[in-house]
Amino acid sequence: MAPAATADRLLAGPQFSAGAESFAEHRARLGPLPIADARNGLIDTIERSGLLGRGGAGFPVGRKWRSVGARSGGRAAVVANGAEGEPRSAKDRSLMTLRPHLVIDGAILAAAAVGADDVVLYVGMEHRAAVDALVRAVAERPLGGGPPLRIVEAPMGYIAGESSAMVHYLEARDARPMAVPPRPHERGLGGRPTLIQNVESLAAAALIARHGDEWFRATGRDLTPGTALVTVTGPVAGTGVREIEYGTTLRELVDAAGGLTAATDAVLLGGYFGGWAATEGRWDEPLDPASLSSRGLGFGCGMVAFLPADACGVWATSRIMEYMAGESARQCGPCIFGLGAISGALRRLATGAHHDGDLADVTRWAGQIAGRGACHHPDGAAGLLQSGLRVFADEFALHERTHGCSRPTAAARRV
C-alpha cells in the first residue's frame, strides 16, 4: 500500500507498516470520545460540515442522521457498512485494518447522535485483516458506556453491501435486496429505523466530532469539503489506497502516486457504479463529487482505475459487464435477462464472434434497464455500459465492422 498523500486525516497516525493502531495509541493521538456532545448537537455539526457519504452514492451524512434520529425513539440501529464488495476497491478494508478505532468511534457517535442501542459492524468476510483488526479493536475498548458492538461478516458478493440486502442478511441470512419501500432508515433491523453508513463516512464523522465542522471545511479545494480515500490502480507506480483532498486533480493524484508507468487513454472513475472517462483533457479537472457529476461522471467509491493504452476498452467493458451480470441477485427479470444478454453480446463483440445487430441491441438495452430492479444494481450496470459505449465508441465500431481489434495482442486483454 502507498503511504498517504499530503492530506492525512483519516489515515493520519502510525506508519501503515505498523498495522492496526491500538486503542492506547488512538486515544493518545485523538483524545477521548466526545460522547456527551454526540447526544447534543453532533447532527448539526455534521450537517454544517457538508460531509458526504463515502459508500458511493454521496448522500449528505448529516441529513441521513437527522432522518433516522427523528424516527428513532432511542431504539434505532446503526450498521457500519464495511462490506466493500467493489472488486478493485480497497479503501474501506484498508481503513478498517489500519484505523479500526476511528471506524468504531464513528459508529458509537452515530448511535449516540441518532438514538440507537444496536451497533453492527458489517465487514466483508473476505477482508480477513479488517475482520481481525476490528475483533481485536472491539476487545480493546473499555466496557460499559456505549451500546453493544456486534461484528457480522458479510457474505461474498457485490450485492451484499446494498442496504436492503444487508438488512435482509442481518435478519434472515439472505443477502438479496428486498422490494422497497420501506427503506431501512424507516424500518430496518428488527423493524427499527436503521442508519446504514459506510465505514469511511463514520471515520470522517468521528474526526468532525472532535475537531469541528470548520476544521473539516478547511480542506477541499473545489466544491466539496473534506478529504476522501481513493483506490488507484492501473499503470501507476504507487498503486493502492491514498487519501486526497477533494478537488485534487487527476494529474496531482498520479504524481503523488509516483507517476504513470505506461500510457493511458481512459480511466474508470467511481468503480462499477461509476463510469469510464477519456483521460484526454481531464488531467487538470478536479476530483470532486459535485464537479464530476456536473460533467456526467461520478466520484462514487473513490476508484481511479487507469486503463493502459494498449488494452482494449471493449474487452475491459465486456469483462465488467460479465461480472455485473454474474453478481445479479437474480430476482428481477430486467436484471437477470437484460444483464445476461448484454454480457453475452459484449463478449461476442469483444472477441469478434458477434452477430449482426449485437451492437445495436446492446445500445438499446443499455437505455432500458435502469430503474427496473428492486435495487440499483441494474442502474449502475447501465451507467457503466453507457460510459463504455461512449468512451470506446470508435473501438466498438471497429470491432463491429472488422470482427477484430485495433490492439490485437495478449496485452489488450489483460484487464
CB of 18 to other proteins, least distance (A): 34
For other proteins, which is the closer residue by CB, 93 or 377? 377
CB of 396 to other proteins, least distance (A): 20
Residue 219 to residue 141: CA distance in whole angstroms: 31
CB of 117 to other proteins, least distance (A): 20
Residue 360 to residue 350: CA distance in whole angstroms: 14
As to burial, measured by CB atoms within 10 angstroms (0-12 exposed, 13-18 middle, 19+ buried), residue 15 is exposed
Instruction: Please say whether the beta carbons of 295 and 262 come within 8 A.
Output: no
CB of 184 to other proteins, least distance (A): 5
Q: Scanning the structure block, which residue is given the C-alpha cell 474526526? A: 207
Neighbouring-strand partners of residue 304? 232, 269
Instruction: Please say whether the beta carbons of 254 and 368 come within 8 A.
Output: no
- Find all residues with CB under 8 Å of 314, minimum gap 6, and list them: 346, 349, 350, 388, 392, 395, 396, 399, 405
Calculate the alpha carbon distances from 206 to 100, 108, 114, 142 in Å: 12, 9, 14, 18
C-alpha cell at 361: 441491441
CB of 371 to other proteins, least distance (A): 9
For other proteins, which is the closer residue by CB, 54 or 242? 54
CB of 8 to other proteins, least distance (A): 27
For other proteins, which is the closer residue by CB, 137 or 374? 374
3-state secondary structure (DSSP) of residue 304: strand
Phi then psi for residue 246, to 5 deg, are -55, 140
For other proteins, which is the closer residue by CB, 162 or 213? 162
For other proteins, which is the closer residue by CB, 287 or 329? 329
Instruction: Please say whether the beta carbons of 120 and 78 come within 8 A.
Output: yes
Calculate the alpha carbon distances from 358 to 223, 305, 406 in Å: 41, 27, 19
For other proteins, which is the closer residue by CB, 225 or 338? 338
For other proteins, which is the closer residue by CB, 212 or 334? 334
CB of 78 to other proteins, least distance (A): 14
Binding footprint of other proteins on the chain (CB under 8 A): 53, 55-59, 64, 67, 163, 177-180, 183-186, 196, 331-334, 337-338, 341, 365, 368, 372-374
